[in-house]
Structure 1
Amino acid sequence: MSAETEPRDRLALLFPGQGNLRPGIGQRLLAEVPWAGERLRQLSEAAGTDLVELLCEAPLCEEPVTGHLAMAAYGLVAFEHLRRDREERPAIMAGHSLGEITALVCAGMLGPEEGLRLARVRGECMAEATRDTSGAMLALVGASLERLREIFADWRGSDPDASVWEVNLNGPQQLVVAGEREALADLQAFLDGRDVRSMPLKTAGAFHTPLMAEAAACLARAAADLSFGEPSIPLVSSMNGRMLTSHRGMEVHLALQMASPVQWLETMRCLQRAQVTRVIEVGPPGGPLTRLARDLGGWRISGLFEK
C-alpha cells in the first residue's frame, strides 16, 4: 500500500475511572517502565501519600481518596510512557468519570501536581458525601441498552419516588444505576425472572447521582482556585459526549460531571465521528474501557505495554 493510500492512524486515549481498581495495579507499570518508580516518587508530595506503595503494595479498597489517587497517578505516568517511550501522538482523548481529570491534565489544561491534588479533593468530597448515606451501584446487562432503559423506566414508574437513577450509559448492552441500597434491592427483586442480569459494583456510594450534590459543590470550590489552560489535545467530555472547547467555567463543568450520568456510549460515538482508527486504554491492562471499545468495534485496540 502506498503512503498516499495508507490509512491515517488516528489514536484515541481512554482514561478509566475506578472501574479497574485492584491491589497491585502498579506492579507491571514499574516492571515495564524503568523510570516509573522515580516519577511516582516525584509526584508523591503533591498526592500527599507514597504513590509507589499505594500502587504496588497497599491493599486498595473502594474508598474514594485512595482510589482516586491510585488511578490518577497510574494514568499520568502511563501517559508519559506512551509519549516518551512509544512516541504515541494521540489525536483525541476522553476520560470516564474520574478519568476526565486525568485526561485534562494530559491534554495540558492542568499540571500533573495540580491534577493529583484535584483528584484527592474530589475523592475527599465524595468520601464526605457518602459518610452518612447507604448508596450503592448496580450494573444491568443482558439486553440492548434501549431495552435495559425501558425495563428500568418500568420499575421507576411503579415507584417514582425511588432514589435510584441511571448513572453510566456505558455501551450498547450495559446500563449502570445507583441510589439507596434498599431501593436497589427492590429493583433486583423486580428483575427476577426477566432476561436481565444485575451485578452489584464495589463502590463506596451512589456516584453520579443527585446524592453527590454536596460533593460536587465542594469540588467546584476547590477547582475555582485553579488556573486551567486550553487543551493542547482535543478532549471529549464523558458528561455529554461533546468536545471540550474552552477552559472557561471548568469548575462548573467538573461539578456537573461529578453529579451527572456518564454518557460513555455517546463519548465513544463522538470518537467514531472523529474518525478514530485506534484506541489505547491508559490504565491497567484488561480494563473495562478496552472491553467496551471492543464491543463497539470499528477500530484497532493497542495495549499499553506493546513493544
Structure 2
Amino acid sequence: MAVAPDSTKTPPTRIAVIFPGQGSQTVAMTSELAEHYPQIKDTFAEASAVLGEDLWAICQDEERLNQTQYTQPALLTASIAIWRILQDKLTKTPCYLAGHSLGEYSALCAAGVISFADAVKLVHKRGQFMQEAVVGIDTAMAAVLGLEDARVETLCEQATEHVDGAIVGAANFNSPGQVVVSGNAIGVNAVIDKVQNTGKKAIPLKVSVPSHCALMHPASRALAEALDNIEFEQAAIPVIQNRHARVESSALGIKQALTEQLSEPVLWSKTMQEMADKQIGILIECGSGNVLSNLAKRQAEPITSYPTDKLARLDKLMEVLS
C-alpha cells in the first residue's frame, strides 16, 4: 500500500554558493584557515606552480596583492581553496553557483567548466589585459548610494553627452540603492558632482582599473582570443552568469558572456533576485571577506548568506546546515 507523503515535514533548504570578486582581497587572506585545513596551502602551491610566482607570498604583500594581475589569481585561488574544504563538508550539492565579476571564474571552475590551472592562467591574463587597456588614461570608479538604477544610468548618460571627454557608465548593480560607476576620471567625477547635487552620496573607490565600462573593450577582445584556447566542459552545477543574470548552457554562450562581462555591467541584484525566484534559502560566500553576504541583506528579497573565510564563520555555517 502506498504511503502518503508527510506534509508536515519541512522541505530541505536549497543552497547556492557565491564567489567574491575584486575588492574582497585582504593581506594574509585564508591564513587562519590554512592552520587547520591543508587544502589552503596545497591550492596556493598549485596556483603558484601554474603562474611561476609564489602566490602565497604575494598575498602577504599589500602592494603586490593589489596589482590587478595578481589580485585576480589570488582571489580565485582563495575561493577554490575554500571550495575544496566545503566539498568535504557539504552533505548535498548546491543548486546554483554564481560569482561577482572576477568571482564568475571561480564559480565556473568550481562547476568543472574550466580546470583550476586554466582558470588561474585566464584571470592572470585578464588582469594584464585590463591594465594594458588603460595605460596612460586617468581612470576612476565610485559607488553611488541611495539612487535608483535608472537614475544613475541617466546621470552617466548626461555626463557622457555634456562633459567634454567624459567616458562613464554603470558598472555594478550591486543592490537596490547601490550602483558602482566606472570610466575615466573626468566622467566619474562629473557623475559624482551630479549625484551630490541630488543630495545623495557617491564614494570614490580605490581601484587600479575601471572595470565593466567602455574603456575595457580592448581587454574584451584580448580575452576573447585567450578564451578560444581554453577547453570548456559541461557544468556539474549550473552557474548564473553576470552578463544577463542567467545560466548559459553552451561553451559558446559561456565564453561570450565572459567576454562581454569585461565591458558591460555586473547584474548582481538581478542575479540575487534569480536566486530568490529559484527558492534558494541559504547562500554560502566562498572566498575572502563578506562583501557579498552584506549585499545579500540589501536585496529586494534578502537571502541569508554565510561567509566562510574564517574558522568561526565556517563553523557557524556547518552548525546552521546541520
> Does the 8 A contact of 1:164 with 1:177 survive in 2?
yes
CA RMSD of the aligned region, Å? Answer: 2.2
Pairing 1:204–2:212 present: no
Question: How do 1:118-133 and structure 2 match up within 5 A?
Answer: 118-133=122-137
Q: Which residue, out of 9, 30, 33, partners 1:29?
A: 33
- 1:34 Cα deviation from its structure 2 partner: 3.5
Q: 1:187 aligns with which of 180, 184, 191?
A: 191
Matches within 5 A, 1:169-180: 169-180=173-184
Three-state SS of the structure 1 residue aligned to 2:38 is coil
Paired residues of 1:130 and 1:204 also in contact (CA < 8 A) = no
Per-residue deviation, 1:159: 4.2
Tell me which residue corresponds to 1:101: 105
Instruction: Specify the alignment match of 1:90 in structure 2.
Output: 94
Partner secondary structure for residue 49 of structure 1: coil
Offset at 1:90? 1.1
For the pair 1:306 / 2:309, whether they are aligned, the reply is no
1:146-168 per-position Cα deviation (integer Å, ceiling 9, x unaligned): 44445545555644973111111
Q: Is the 8 A contact 2:27 2:61 kept in 1?
A: yes
How many angstroms apart in 2 are the aligned matches of 1:189 and 1:259? 24
Query: For residues 181 and 151 of structure 1, do their structure 2 counterparts lie closer, same or farther at Cα, with a shift above 3 Å needed?
Result: closer
- State the alpha-carbon separation in 2 of the partners of residues 275 and 86 from structure 1: 19
Match of 1:167 in 2: 171
Which segments of 5 or more consecutive residues in structure 1 lack a partner in the other structure?
A: none
User: Out of 210, 216, 219, which is 2:220 matched to?
Assistant: 216
Equivalence for 1:275: 279
Determine the C-alpha separation between the residues in 2 that align with 1:66 and 1:136. 20
The one-letter code of the counterpart of 1:127 is Q
| TM-score normalised over the length of structure 2 | 0.87
Matched, 1:285 2:289: yes
Aligned length: 305
Residue 49 of structure 2 corresponds to which residue in structure 1?
A: 45
2:258 maps to a residue whose letter is L
TM-score, normalised by the number of residues in structure 1: 0.91
Q: In the superposition, relative to structure 1, how do residues 303 and 3 fare at CA in structure 2: closer, same or farther (>3 Å)?
A: farther
- 2:264 match: 260
1:248 corresponding residue in structure 2: 252
Query: What's the CA shift string for 1:157-213, capped at 9, x where partnerless?
Result: 644973111111111110111111022222222333422101111111221111111
Specify the alignment match of 2:18 in structure 1: 14
What letter matches 1:306 in structure 2?
L
